[in-house]
């Protein structure tokens, strides 16, 4: 099968984990940062096949965050991710990022969000790709700026910003802290996706759906929590699974043990996504190939997954129709 030629949709892709190593190096040099040669840099950005923990995995984002502190770098990296995705026939891409991480050198939230949107919108104009931007609250950061983030972001909801996410390290019961922010974002018109059930706590998925998640990032641990499994199935909540990343972060022990196929068989709506094109050393082509070959999926299985992605995309019916036309 020509996996590259298949139309693809990526609903779960992080901006800072998907920057080209070459670009990061160039930006670092321009900013007088100490940086290794490209080969060493590349290997230091890629998380090992089995990383000791999710937190160890998250360390790979440090250089990207360090250089993405001005408008030009944010815009460029956003542009290049859409460009790279279009080259492998990704027809629709949602990129997420935590704007609060990019304020270290004085940028304000408007500048940060509008730069990323500009990068995406310029790429959308040039290439055959649709998509949107999701802003994320990082659970490891204080919550005192989240009202400002959500309010500022809401001004861009008709300009390509489409959703709100809770990301980074996952502890049991995190939804209690973030419920008011999720409710506020939802009331302002954001679609909601929440990283939950990624590294062990199935109940977090139940809580995330209860506080208003439209989709779940990962969600693979619903297999260990019946109530979470049931609510996801009953409400047809789409799971954004990221197979290679799940192996790297030890969320699953191996690709063969990934629950994606069991979920499909049980009627759970699963999708295939990259998570981090650079840190997970992947692309949509690689993820789709890995999943289809590991679980012996045929084209009609793949089309089902693609349709779930269309269904769950934070976009208009018009764009959804356009995306469905690629597989008809």
User: Given the complex with Zn ion, which of 25 and 139 has the nearer CB atom?
Assistant: 139
Q: How far is the CB of 242 from Zn ion (least distance, A)?
A: 6
Please tell me the count of residues contacting Zn ion according to CB under 5 A. Answer: 1
User: Which residue's CB comes closest to Zn ion?
Assistant: 275
Q: Which is nearer to Zn ion, 3 or 97 (CB)?
A: 97
Q: Shortest gap between Cβ of 175 and Zn ion (angstroms)? A: 17
CB of 101 to Zn ion, least distance (A): 14
Q: Nearer to Zn ion by C-beta: 28 or 243? A: 243
Least distance to Zn ion, CB of residue 249, Å: 10
Spacing of C-alpha 291 from chain mean position? 18
Beta bridge pairs of residue 217: 195, 240
Q: 283 — alpha (psi -120 to 50), left (phi > 0) or beta?
A: beta
Q: Which is nearer to Zn ion, 35 or 308 (CB)?
A: 308
Closest CA to 237 of 260, 271, 261: 271
Q: What are the strands of the beta sheet with 191-196, ordered from one edge?
A: 8-14, 90-97, 130-138, 161-167, 191-196, 215-218, 238-241, 270-272
Q: Site map for Zn ion, 226-265, x if CB under 5 A?
A: ----------------------------------------
Is 198 an annotated catalytic residue? yes
The residue among 120 and 251 lying less far from Zn ion, judged by its C-beta, is 251
CA distances from 227 to 73, 173, 224, 236 (A): 43, 15, 9, 14
The nearer residue to Zn ion, 16 or 275, going by C-beta atoms, is 275
Give me the sign of the Cα torsion angle 168, 242, 178, 228.
negative
Q: How far is the CB of 40 from Zn ion (least distance, A)?
A: 26
Contact positions with Zn ion (CB under 5 A) in 30-89: none
Tell me whether residue 97 or residue 308 sits nearer to Zn ion (CB atom).
97
Subset of residues 94 to 153 that bind Zn ion, contact rule: CB under 5 A: none
Write the interaction track for Zn ion spanning residues 263-282; mark x where CB under 5 A is met and - where it is not.
------------x-------
Q: Are 67 and 16 in contact (CB under 8 A)?
A: no
Task: Please report how close the Cβ of residue 57 comes to Zn ion at its closest, in angstroms.
Answer: 10
- Catalytic residue among 75, 170, 198, 287, which? 198
Q: How far is the CB of 217 from Zn ion (least distance, A)?
A: 5
Structure tokens at 92: 């629709």
Catalytic site positions:
198
Question: Which parts of this chain interact with Zn ion (CB under 5 A)?
Answer: 275
């Amino acid at each position: 099968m020509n996996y590259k030629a298949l139309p693809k949709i990526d609903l779960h892709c992080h901006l800072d984990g998907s920057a080209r190593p070459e670009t990061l190096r160039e930006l670092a040099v321009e900013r007088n940062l100490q940086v290794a040669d490209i080969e060493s840099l590349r290997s230091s950005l890629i998380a090992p096949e089995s990383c000791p923990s999710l937190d160890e995995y998250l360390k790979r984002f440090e250089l990207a965050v360090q250089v993405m502190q001005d408008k030009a770098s944010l815009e460029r990296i956003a542009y290049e991710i859409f460009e790279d995705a279009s080259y492998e026939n990704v027809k629709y891409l949602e990129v997420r990022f935590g704007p609060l991480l990019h304020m270290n050198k004085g940028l304000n939230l408007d500048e940060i969000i509008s730069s990323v949107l500009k990068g995406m919108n310029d790429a959308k104009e040039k290439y055959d790709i649709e998509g949107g931007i999701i802003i994320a609250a990082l659970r490891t950061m204080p919550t005192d700026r989240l009202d400002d983030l959500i309010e500022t972001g809401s001004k861009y909801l008709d300009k390509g910003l489409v959703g709100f996410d809770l990301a980074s390290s996952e502890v049991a019961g995190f939804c209690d802290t973030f419920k008011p922010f999720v409710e506020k974002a939802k009331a302002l018109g954001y679609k909601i996706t929440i990283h939950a059930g990624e590294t062990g706590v199935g109940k977090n998925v139940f809580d995330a759906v209860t506080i208003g998640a439209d989709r779940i990032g990962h969600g693979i641990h619903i297999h260990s929590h019946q109530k979470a499994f049931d609510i996801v199935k009953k409400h047809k909540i789409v799971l954004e699974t990221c197979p290679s990343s799940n192996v790297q972060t030890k969320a699953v022990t191996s690709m063969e043990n990934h629950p994606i196929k069991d979920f499909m068989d049980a009627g759970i709506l699963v999708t295939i996504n990259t998570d981090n094109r650079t840190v997970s050393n992947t692309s949509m082509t690689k993820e789709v190939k890995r999943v289809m070959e590991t679980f012996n999926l045929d084209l009609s299985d793949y089309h089902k997954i693609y349709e779930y992605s269309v269904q769950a995309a934070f976009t208009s019916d018009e764009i959804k129709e356009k995306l469905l036309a690629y597989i008809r």
